[in-house]
């Protein structure tokens, strides 16, 4: 039961769910201190965001018993907001772990003071962590709540018995990221959201709603109606039996209520009961990458006729099918999976990626024709899935390991008796229409063995207990040769076969498993550094000429291949391939770690996008000292023919091969290189690169300047160094300083240079090939604020933002 306390500390924001007679209403409010019920409605459940004003200490503490006490004085600790990645604050050193970005991983401690209102007495009180990396221990008011080892799955604690209603409460969290789960940069800290939830004793269980849609003859493209099955798990944490009624409202993409279904049943004390309801939606608006239409399920729980709880669940209606010989079909139409694999970190913020920045990242991939996102190699931030639902990006949702949370001292394939992390991923994510497959693991040592098949089968059983609408797969590589696909391993028991690389073995694998669909779960892995055209191990640079279409063509030229996921969409910190130090990040992205496109981004755009385009490589025409020497020039285009001009003189036209490129050897002379692309004799696209002069000024180019107030909304601000004619200076490495005035918050900086050892948590950064970024957050208050960028010898730039 709730106890007492007497002070208010910090700030929080709250979402209040309320009902009126005749329908469900929302009341939203950000406030200081506790949550107050809306005056005109009965508040059913509240969810308070606890992201602001945590106290943080880096390093372990020998006096842990003192630290967990509510009376402990933490005023000397550093104040931070979560999401927070404290490993990013460290200094790069070649003596630290190579794969994890040459940064030091240490224990960290967090404390949070917050008030629970007196009005929450008698309710069920819960603390939700969306993600902590990793091996976290949590105390509330000095009482131990539990330990969660996984760094990638959310977890919840019931704090009803230890909470103090009407006063201050203290959360203490110990984080230990020193044992890694992967072989890339994983960061450390409370890097996803934290919520405090207050519920009635009779309520919808956590992730307790599930909508299954089936379109009769949807595999043939039919869309006359959709059959919906609504499963609602209701939990009674009260001491007495409850007379429960579940009211389910289906809300269409336009906001209108399409159907209302009601069911009644008794729920005993301490029991969970599943309510199953069925209804039909006429002429459903189907979800697809081109038309990402979303429905909502509004669930209201009545006890003895009174509303006591309400939730809203977003879902979509679509039909997916995999064919062993013809590939992937969505709503009856064959769709080529044109995907990228992505780790979760980003320049300036590490793994603590704000929700709106996840949306921005999905948008950058959509622009070049990408239609699928692989969550490599772990359950993602749920904001990624929300963005994919809204924007139309299909998802390969991936579990971390073959089995559950991997402890390095435990041999892989042994001791995996608890599959709760997998169950969490499925239950949390199953309503997202963007997800088209579940992946159990990536490149596991047991993948080609009977033991691996046994573990995989146990995992598949867990998946199917919660969702039977999607196929189950894994990402298998050629460790030990192609025989892992041909023997008695995972490939024999999974629904569809995911192949990492092994381009020359697709036909052989298909012959061995003729009844199983196949796709490239990982391909390309080409190491290129933006703006670099020579391989240089000493500086850690990889030439953009390393690009090769030979790894996409084996996929697209085989109808039985459903598509593939390129490694990767963005460069990522850690696993510095192909070199180690001085590189601290990976070079495999279509974009660098800041989201600036590389040349190979445009190659795949020419393969994946229907919008006419042409791109010249190299992407600059500054080659001092090479006058008269041949420069290799490539053009990527989805047009039929490309003609190249140097300073107005034609160097000839080339017919564009399917999903390939054309090229010329061009004797260098300064000036302008231009490509013109034609289809059916009509000019459809052009691209120009010009010799740039000396750096003169800075330009800032955010994609929006209006943000939502409340501290969470974030925007990437690209920075470019230009010459007097407004051309990007490809060799510019000027140091740019950033200053915010009037509000907002500067989260971090980056430039895409894999060998840059400057800190991301700073207010300055060198440009790399003429570009860098800063990441700006709106802040808590509405109003205007201003960003200014300066550099010695350059004209400054500024941009104004408005937080609403």
**Local structure of 119: helix, strand or coil:** helix
Cα 395 to Cα 393: distance, rounded to the nearest angstrom: 6
Cα dihedral: 615, 616, 621, 626 (round 10):
170
Is 173 in a helix, a strand, or coil? strand
CB-side exposure of 342: number of CA atoms within 13 Å? Answer: 30
DSSP 431-464: T-TTEEEEEEEES-TTTTSHHHHHHHHHHHHHHH
Token pair of 492, please? 């024999």
Q: Are 394 and 436 in contact (CB under 8 A)?
A: yes
What's 314-330 look like in SS3?
A: EECCCCEEEECCCEEEE
Residue 549 makes CB contacts below 8 A (sequence gap 6+) with 603, 607, 659, 660, 661
Q: Which residue has the tokens 């008695």?
A: 488
What values do phi and psi take at 459, rounded to 5?
Answer: -65, -40
On the 0-12 / 13-18 / 19+ scale of CB atoms within 10 A, 376 is buried
CA quadruple 341, 430, 197, 311: dihedral sign: positive
| Alpha-carbon span 520 to 62, nearest angstrom | 49
Handedness of CA 178, 182, 187, 193 (dihedral sign): negative
111/182 Cα distance (integer angstroms): 27
Enzyme catalytic residues:
443, 522
For the beta carbon of residue 249, count every other beta carbon within 10 angstroms. 18
Determine the Cα–Cα distance for residues 563 and 519; give it in Å rounded to an integer.
5
Element (H, E) at 218: none
Nearest to 424 by CA among 390, 399, 444: 399
- For tokens 């697709």, the residue is 506
Task: Tell me the Cα Rg of the chain.
Answer: 27
Residue 51 CB-density burial (10 A; 0-12 exposed, 13-18 middle, 19+ buried): buried
The token duo for 58 is: 């880096």
Residue 62's contacts (CB-CB under 8 Å, 6 or more residues apart) are none
């Amino acid at each position: 039961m709730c106890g007492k306390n007497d002070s208010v500390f910090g700030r929080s924001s709250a979402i209040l769910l309320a009902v009126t007679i005749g329908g469900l209403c929302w009341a939203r409010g950000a406030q200081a201190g506790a949550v107050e019920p809306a005056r005109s409605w009965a508040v059913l459940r509240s969810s308070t965001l606890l992201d602001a004003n945590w106290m943080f200490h880096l390093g372990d503490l020998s006096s842990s018993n003192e630290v967990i006490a509510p009376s402990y004085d933490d005023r000397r600790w550093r104040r931070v907001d979560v999401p927070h990645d404290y490993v990013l604050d460290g200094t790069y050193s070649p003596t630290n772990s190579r794969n994890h970005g040459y940064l030091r991983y240490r224990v960290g401690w967090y404390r949070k003071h917050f008030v629970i209102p007196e009005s929450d007495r008698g309710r069920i009180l819960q603390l939700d962590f969306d993600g902590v990396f990793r091996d976290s221990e949590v105390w509330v008011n000095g009482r131990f709540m539990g330990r969660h080892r996984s760094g990638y799955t959310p977890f919840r604690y019931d704090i009803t018995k230890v909470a103090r209603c009407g006063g201050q409460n203290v959360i203490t969290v110990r984080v230990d990221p020193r044992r890694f789960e992967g072989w890339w940069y994983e960061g450390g800290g409370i890097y996803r959201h934290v919520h405090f939830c207050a519920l009635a004793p009779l309520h919808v269980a956590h992730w307790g709603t599930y909508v299954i849609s089936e379109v009769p003859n949807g595999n043939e493209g039919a869309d006359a109606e959709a059959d919906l099955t609504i499963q609602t798990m209701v939990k009674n944490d009260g001491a007495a039996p409850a007379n429960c009624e579940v009211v389910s409202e289906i809300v269409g993409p336009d906001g209108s209520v399409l159907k209302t279904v009601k069911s009644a049943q008794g729920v005993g004390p301490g029991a969970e009961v599943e309510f199953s309801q069925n209804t039909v939606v006429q002429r459903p608006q189907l979800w697809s990458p081109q038309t990402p239409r979303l429905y909502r399920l509004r669930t209201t729980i009545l006890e003895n006729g009174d509303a006591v709880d309400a939730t809203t669940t977003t879902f979509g209606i679509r039909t997916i099918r995999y064919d062993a010989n013809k590939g992937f079909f969505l709503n009856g139409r064959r769709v080529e999976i044109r995907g990228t694999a992505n780790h979760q970190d980003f320049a300036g913020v590490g793994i603590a990626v704000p929700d709106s920045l996840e949306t921005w990242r999905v948008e950058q991939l959509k622009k070049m024709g990408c239609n699928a996102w692989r969550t490599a190699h772990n359950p993602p931030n749920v904001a990624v899935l929300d963005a994919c639902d809204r924007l139309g990006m299909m998802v390969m949702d991936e579990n971390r390991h073959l089995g559950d949370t991997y402890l390095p001292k435990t041999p892989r394939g042994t001791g995996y008796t608890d599959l709760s992390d997998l169950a969490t991923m499925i239950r949390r994510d199953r309503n997202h229409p963007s997800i088209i497959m579940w992946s159990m693991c990536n490149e596991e040592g047991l993948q080609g063995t009977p033991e691996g098949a046994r573990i995989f089968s146990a995992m598949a059983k867990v998946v199917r207990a919660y969702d039977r609408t999607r196929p189950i797969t894994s990402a298998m590589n050629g460790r030990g040769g192609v025989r892992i696909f041909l023997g008695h391993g995972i490939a024999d028991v999974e629904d569809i076969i995911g192949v990492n690389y092994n381009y020359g073995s697709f036909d052989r694998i298909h012959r061995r498993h003729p009844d199983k669909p196949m796709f490239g779960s990982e391909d390309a892995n080409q190491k290129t550094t933006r703006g670099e055209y020579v391989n240089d191990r000493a500086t850690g640079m990889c030439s953009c000429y390393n690009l090769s279409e030979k790894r996409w063509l084996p996929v697209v030229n085989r109808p039985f291949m459903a598509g593939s996921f390129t490694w990767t969409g963005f460069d990522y910190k850690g696993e510095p391939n192909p070199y180690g130090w001085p590189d601290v990040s990976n070079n495999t992205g279509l974009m660098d770690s800041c989201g600036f496109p590389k040349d190979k981004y445009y190659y795949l755009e020419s393969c994946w996008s229907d919008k006419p385009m042409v791109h010249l490589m190299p992407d600059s025409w500054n080659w001092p000292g090479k006058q008269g020497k041949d420069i290799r020039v490539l053009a990527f285009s989805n047009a039929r023919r490309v003609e190249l001009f140097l300073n107005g003189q034609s160097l000839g036209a080339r017919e564009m091969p399917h999903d390939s490129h054309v090229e010329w050897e061009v004797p260098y002379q300064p000036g302008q290189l231009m490509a013109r692309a034609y289809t059916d004799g009509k000019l459809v696209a052009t691209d120009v690169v010009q010799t740039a002069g000396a750096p003169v000024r800075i330009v800032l180019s955010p994609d929006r300047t209006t943000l939502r107030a409340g501290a969470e909304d974030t925007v990437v601000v690209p920075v470019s160094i230009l010459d007097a004619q407004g051309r990007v200076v490809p060799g510019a490495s000027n140091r740019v300083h950033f200053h915010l005035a009037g509000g907002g918050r500067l989260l971090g900086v980056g430039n895409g240079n894999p060998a840059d050892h400057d800190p991301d948590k700073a207010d300055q950064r060198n440009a790399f090939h003429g570009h860098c970024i800063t990441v700006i957050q709106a802040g808590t208050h509405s109003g205007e604020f201003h960003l200014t960028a300066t550099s010695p010898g350059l004209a400054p730039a500024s941009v104004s933002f408005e937080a609403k």
